[in-house]
Chain A
Amino acid sequence: MGHELNWGLPVISYLFLAGLGAGALTVSASVFLRGGGGGFGNGHFAVARYGALIAPLPVMIGCGLLVLELGSFQTGHWFKWLNLYKTITLSPMSIGTWLLTVFIGISLVYAYTFLPKDASAGDRLEPLRKAMAWIGVPLGIAVAIYTGVLLGAMPSRPFWNSPILAMLFLLSSLSTGVAAILLARALLHKGKRDADVAQSSYLLTTSDVLLIGFELVVIFLFIMFAYLTVGDVGYAVSVILFGDRSMEMFGANLAVPFWLGVVLIGLLIPALIEMFYVSPKLLYQRQFGPPYSVEVIVPVAVIVGGFILRYVVVVAGQITGPIGI
């Protein structure tokens, strides 16, 4: 493979981590603003709290990784990245920089309002919490979308140059955000079960099934349009499809991580397991109570799938280009 990957693991990890954090904030703030309504009952505050405390960290780690990959940083210009703050342009990266900066600030304040051990709905931090949540919902969505727009802005990268990529990243962000909340709850509150917990788990799991469903639709559209298109895009997307084209042209076959990692492990298996446990309650009002192992394994699969999705997309975009010269 003669292609050089200018954006490697740090950027891949960043896209994944920023998406997860943005998704966690959006979900947390949405659930919090919805309050006890919408069926969450008294469990809503706990759900919002998990999301709020999760959100800032992955985004900050991701941004740190981005700085590590900068050419300036690697040649010893440690603080040259501050040049990003001297201007604002229509470059997706410039807009993204400002969005991420605001995001980190807002999500930290939002997390702070949930820090006190006795934090509860209606305490003295409530007005601040509410204000941050109102900003947090659109901000989280903006950060999640921008990561896709960043990649999609270049005709020279036909794999990325698709308006639906940003949509895919948004859905994946929300889905991994929900998964992170479910996982944190399962790990930190092992064995603690009451009606509120069960009810909010049920709602989160149901929304995860929906998100994964939409994600599958978007992936289907992405592949279908590429497959039915001749030229650059068709050629670029062929690297993630099985078949002689991808095997012949590329040393590294991305079809395996895409179909096994993204579609099977990240989407189909979690969705099927979640549906298996959600459907009885949805259809027959039975008790919702998946075993502990499922509560852990399903979110882990969704999160791993989210990472592999970023990996496949970032690598595929860089090993393909326009046909002809």
Chain B
Amino acid sequence: MKRLGAGTATAAIGASLPASARAAVSKRKVQYGMLIDTRRCIGCHACSVACKAEFDVPLGSTRSWVEYIEKGNYPNVSRNFLPRLCNHCSHPNCVDVCPTGATWKREEDGIVVVDPNICIGCKYCIQACPYDARFLNPVTGAADKCDFCLHRVSRGLAPACVETCIGRARIFGDLNDPDSEIARMIASNPVSVLRPSMGTEPNVYYIAADHTDEHEARRQRQYIRVTTHRKAQERR
């Protein structure tokens, strides 16, 4: 079991700090995040399948998916994998636009959640998400998306996609705890987030992500194909 919470780390750090700093540490908020090491991803879709099974996601919809990026002209070619999910942004635009308060960023762990009992399915948040992470659940009629497996995480388990990843490409944990595995990995590796220019401050980080987009085919004068493996065949 990976260490998720800040509990033990807080106690360890707190002991060696002055009282004021100790108070600051214990009040520190948890911000769950994910680091995806694409060098370890083999594009097997186990994460997508685990997610489907965990939430019984209706056919045709995806909370978690893996994109293939194929590029190059023979013999210089490559295929890279980009696992995708909700970024649980620090400035979630989807939350800003929700008219009913059905979606919010949880104070306690920074997870962006949707309450399908409040959501009326206006699809405003689906428009607002720069990552196309949200979809309208055809069964509930409400907006739906990855919630970092809140039901598992709140019991100390890792999210289903993390648990199932055979390449150990996914690391989940508290970004605000400098002692957590994810924080240490982010500190010691070159990482990137998707579409930082949107100003949403995503909390899903990537190591060695291929940021190539289909639009770049013209400029780079080479074959580029992005396969999203979801109903929306093109990225937003």
Contacts and interface: CB of A to CB of B under 8 A. Distances in A.
A93 interface: yes
A72 B99 contact: no
Interface string B102-118: 10000000000000001
B127 A154 contact: yes
Interface residues of B, number: 46
B97 interface: yes
B122 A156 contact: no
B99 A156 contact: no
B197 interface: yes
A138 interface: no
A6 B122 CA distance: 9
A318 B142 contact: no
Interface of chain A: mostly helix, strand, loop or mixed: loop
Contacts of B195: 322, 324-325
A153 interface: yes
B14 interface: no
Interface stretch (A79-87, A178-186, A254-262): A79-87
Given A71-B142, A323-B213, A2 B93 contact: no
Contacts of A220: none
B235 A325 contact: yes
Contact of A6 (B119, B136, B138, B235): B136
A93 B139 contact: no
Interface string B211-226: 1110110000000000
Interface in B122-142: 122-124, 126-130, 132, 136-142
Interface of A: 2-4, 6-7, 69-77, 80-81, 83-84, 86-87, 89-94, 96-97, 150, 153-157, 235, 318, 321-325
Given A71-B119, A156-B198, 11 more contacts: A4-B231, A71-B123, A71-B136, A80-B121, A91-B96, A93-B99, A155-B199, A156-B130, A321-B130, A324-B213, A325-B235
